[in-house]
Structure 1
Amino acid sequence: MLSMMGKYVRVVDAINYRMGRLIMYFIFVMMGILLWSSISKTFFLPSLWTLEMAQFAMVAYYILGGPYSLQMGSNVRMDLFYGAWSDKKKAQIDAITVFFLIFYLGVMLYGAYDSTSYSFQYGERSPTAWRPYLWPIKVVMCFGIFMMLLQSISELFKDIATLKGVKL
């Protein structure tokens, strides 16, 4: 059982690590879009697509970078008590609280899937002047939430291994 958990952790962690390192560079994509927005507003006609495209890039940046952030332990915690606890005590608390995260992500994934299928079915577009289709960013959101769910399960497996005294 622990060997299968170890394989799962290695695969999910590797995928999310690589994806996180790649998505890290989306900040430059956003900077480029916003730079073009400033240049076009100053010297040319303002572009209709820049603000919304920057928002889409930011959504991708945060949603796809979330699993990497969780994996690296750079998520926000209340360290009032947590910082002083032993590794086993942290693993005990994390193994319990991760179920709340998994439930939350399950609800989010259900809603995201429902919204994405609606977007495909009706050809949903943004109500702005540019009017882009919304399904591409909704697919990215579904994928990001799914990967965050997989990473949360990976963190649960790591906590279980820590409680058993095994290193995955």
Structure 2
Amino acid sequence: MKYNLVALFDNDSNRFIDFNYKHDSKRNKIIHHIPFHIVLETIDDPDIIKLNDLILKILKPYKRFKIHFNTLSTLSSNNKNQYLSVEEKGYINGLVRNLNEDLKLSGFKVRDLDNNENLFVSLSQNSPKNLNSKSNLSQTSIDSFAKIEKIELWKIIGNKKHSVVHTYNLREF
């Protein structure tokens, strides 16, 4: 069974993303039941109790933080697959690296950290697998920020469904 560790936005950031970016593709299938999120790590077949204790230990010093969106990308000519690229500098980059290294050292099956993989927020039903290999990619430069409020561990049930296993609230400033 696969589990995703995802970063979730606060309510103001969710409304901002929904109003400014998601409304552009109303004629497409839009994700209504899944909140906007960034997948930080994918874990295969973990021991949930051990994983929960480790994640609590890793996330203890982290506070709520802002991320910067630098591009709005569209993978097809009909605006069907859209996503916001996250600039990988600072806090979120350190969090992803720290999670990956600590989970690997503790014996969990996680992906190899690759510098070519980008963090993104999917705005459409079909999320892109490898953002760098798409040939018909169009990008629009944007400059906006959003605030990460909590981290959740999701159990992937089906093709487009998930269930929340545990929520890790980040400290306030």
TM class, shorter-length = under 0.3
With structure 1 as the length reference, what TM-score do the two structures score? 0.26
Query: Which protein has the larger Cα radius of gyration, Structure 1 or Structure 2?
Result: 1
Give the number of the structure whose residues are more often helix, by fraction: 1
With structure 2 as the length reference, what TM-score do the two structures score? 0.26
